[in-house]
Chains A and B, each alone.
Chain A
Amino acid sequence: MSARDTAGTEAVSRRDVSGVHPGPSTATRWVIVAVIGLLFLVPIASMLEFTLRGGLAGGYTLDRWAAVFGGGLTGEYKPIVTGLTNSLLLAVVTVAVMLVLLVPTMVLVRIRFPKLQRVLEFVCLLPITIPAIVLVVGLAPVYSVVARMFGSGVWTLAFAYGVIVLPYAYRSIQANLQAVDVVTLSEAARSLGAGWATILFRIVVPNIRRGLLAAAFIAVAVVLGEYTIAALLNRVNLQTALVVVSKADPYIAVIIALLALVFAFVLLVAIGRIGGGPGSRRRRTAPPAAPAAPTTPLAPATGAAEPTTQEAALR
């Protein structure tokens, strides 16, 4: 049998034994990554190239980037600073609104009212199906009431943003909630004397930390990129400021847009990195060796050098 035949047999038996197709080859995977990467990179590279152009003189220059990082966002560029400040404030308030309202609701529905799960999911996913312009038409009269109650500060936009981040936040938290047996954990805690607040903050939240972080970061990314609602409700945020500035200096507007993109990218990478937390880092490492075993009916006395004997007896 030739080497080629052998390889072919091995490939077939791999499929047969596992029952699962091994998936695309490494080369195919790289092609897929390259094509998708190009779809993202070409516009970003074009933006970068645009910001480096030397204008009518031709060539490339770093002057505009130097101006941005050298404290040059004054005068006609001041709306960007205002917009960025407003957007960061909105991001914080939106995350707070989302966490305070959504997390307890989701946990309560999961533990006490599981039949409402579908209703909650429908309500939370609804905003993604409604165009922003339609949302604004509905929000405009609501905001006249909001303005009377809370004033017309830009932070009140966070109420509307709390609605538009719902689908993303819900999905992130729900995925994490489903992975944890919250019902049994809460019942165990209740039987040990815990009240609902303790269950929420000491039992549930630490176990869905990853989902909460993901929800928070996605909410920040959505808020930083939001334009329609702010523009139609006449509020200033980063995106509306960029539009204003781009009419006077499109280069600076594109630089800021690029920086916002990088910030959002960093946030999304952080979801995967920070969200794991110490628990998941521990999971990736080998369990610590068991200390010397005490003499118990189930664990006969063993020396400190033989911890695995005790483990075997107890497993």
Chain B
Amino acid sequence: MRGSEADRERKAIGADLVIPLLALAFALYFFSSIWNLVWEAKANGVVIGTILLVLVGIQLGRSFWGVWQGRYRLGFDDLIEPSGALFRRIALVSLLVLFVATFHLVGTVAGLILGMGSMMFVLGQRDWRWLIGLPSIIALTIHLLFVVFLGARLPAGPIEQGIRLLIGG
């Protein structure tokens, strides 16, 4: 085993393999789902899936050969560095998931204000006027343009009901 400095000199290709491995897993699932269908329903998928498997095979083979030869290592540097940004990204994605899970309960406007304010906080904004002001403006603009004017149906919460009473709509 080489030292950590020598390790760093070798290119980390672990991150490069995420997309091919996802593609591989999906192609295998795809094949399992079409196995019993007649040829017309699966012809296109079989051709595309087979080519994809060959391409993924070449990429994986090339990468593992490089690792075997000592030119590459299986690190994920491209995805996890810089670590500060990684934390912010995970936090943003988590906030998006939280928004999707709760906006039916709290309403779109409140969900957007809370979600967007939290995202700004994660990205370093600490001034409460910004944290409340900008999200409120964006959320209300979305509400006015798309719900009040265009009539799109976004889940309503207490703020929407307040607006409705206010504008007498």
- Whether A and B are associated in the same complex: the answer reads no
* A interface with B by C-beta (< 8 Å): none
* B interface with A by C-beta (< 8 Å): none
